[in-house]
Structures are given as C-alpha cells and as structure tokens.
Amino acid sequence: MNKIKIAIAGSSGRMGRILLESVVQADDLVLHAALEHAGSEFIGRDAGELCGAPCGIKISTDVATALRGADVLIDFTRPEGTLHHLEICRKLGVAMVIGTTGFNAQQKAQLGAGAQDVGIVFAPNMSVGVNLVFNLLETASRVLSHGYDIEIIEAHHRHKIDAPSGTALGMGEVVARALGRDLEKCAVYGREGVTGERDPSTIGFATVRGGDIVGDHTVLYAGIGERIEITHKASSRATFALGALRAARFLKANAAGIYDMQDVLGLKD
C-alpha cells in the first residue's frame, strides 16, 4: 500500500503536535515533512520527539524543499503563513488541508484561486461532530425562521487570537443562508450600554476566552415559552486532527478544487 505523504505546518504548536501524533499512529499515512517559522527553537529537531515517537524527519523552515514530494500539507497556522504555503503548494502540486481561521474576504479569494491548481479542503472546523451540527443548523433555522431570536455563543482558550471563532462564523453563515439573510448585514458582534430592543432580523455573537477551553459552540434559538440549543463541545484537539486526516485522504482521491468538510463527509445533497 502506498502511504499518503503528509507535511505539517506549525508542527510545534498545540495543534501541530496532535497532528504529528495522529499521522505517526495512522497505518495509511507517513510523515513527509514538518515545518516551523524561522527562529523557532525546534528547527532541526526530530519532529517525532514532539509526540514521543522519533521518526527521522527534521523540523524545517525551508518550505519549498520540505514539501517537494509531499502529497498533502495540513496547515492550522495564520492566514499570512497559509497563503505563503499555498503559493509553494501550487508550484509543487501539493494538496492542502486548511484549518487556519481569520481569513478576510480577499484572502479567501486567494484560496479559491489556488484551488484551480491543487485540491484544497478549507473548513473553519475539521471536527466530524461540528460538521454534522452544521447540517442540523440548516434544518433548525428553516423550521425556526419566525418567532425565534438567534444567538451564537462560543468559548475558547486564552491564547486564541481571533474572535468570533471561525467555527462560530461558519455557523452564522449556515444560519443566515438558511434564513435568506446576509450575515455581513445582520450580524451583531457585541452589545454594551443602552442598545434598545433586539432587532429580530439579527444574528448575535458572544465570545468567551479563558483557561484551556478547547472549543465550545452553542446556537441558541430563543422563542416565546421555549429555547432550543444546539451545542458542540470539544474536549480534545484530537477531534480536529482526525478530521484533518480524513480530509487528507479525501484529497488524495479527488481532483483540484476547493472543498469543505461537508464534501469530505458526504453530507451535501
């Protein structure tokens, strides 16, 4: 069996270490490269040491050299770094699984352009459970389209730098689309002072940051006399890593283009 050759960006980070461990443990995958930013204390070290299983792959900052011969790069870093990696992947024909969040509209357009040359799975959350929740939200939003106020509450660890989370925004986009609304026009990202009555056409977001919370997301439908809550709570980053590996396997079998986890999981009609 030809194993899928995986490269990991940001390999010494919290997510990177979980990805390293998951790849090393998978029978059908092999670690091809581990990347880190220039100046990292881990450059030159065996990547496997970060997950307790030395593998002979040295952590590198030379992206082009490291990616040569790889099948898929898994990237959970920052938008600027991901886009830099994308340009190199386009030249080398390396597919990408992108779990990076915080892209603006122009940067998302760059991802779309890159997908003309290589396969890309881009999703705000790689968790299988979260992507099932996306499907549930579409149904719930259609059924609860009138008489229910919709709020999205998310919580993450103190180190997360973007807010709301990419997953919360993804949930908002699913809800808005099901309701025939434009999220950019109806989203409310904070309330303070005398705000007046709630506009029923809005979708509210609330953000919590603290401790080591991996990721909690709740979409609240508040009506008169009842509340419906659809919640996903992640207790380990392993759920994101396993979803990312599933996406890598999907890309190995599919042509260039931009996909999401709904494609990977076969949840689209």
Q: Catalytic positions, please?
A: 156, 160
244 and 99 in contact (C-beta within 8 Å)?
yes
Ordered alpha helix ranges (H), the chain: 14-25, 63-67, 79-92, 105-114, 128-143, 166-179, 183-186, 238-252, 261-264
CA pair distance 103, 84, nearest whole angstrom: 13
Residue 151 corresponds to which tokens in the numbers above?
């709020």
* DSSP line for 222-236: E-SS-EEEEEEEES-
CA pair distance 241, 14, nearest whole angstrom: 11
Nearest Cα neighbor of 125 from 97, 156, 90, 99 is 99
CA pair distance 142, 213, nearest whole angstrom: 31
Distances (CA, A) of 63 to 69, 100, 230: 12, 17, 40
Could you tell me which residues are beta bridge partners of residue 259? 121
Helix (H, G, I), strand (E, B) or coil at 241: helix
Residue 256 corresponds to which tokens in the numbers above?
């260039």
**Quick one: DSSP state of residue 27?**
T
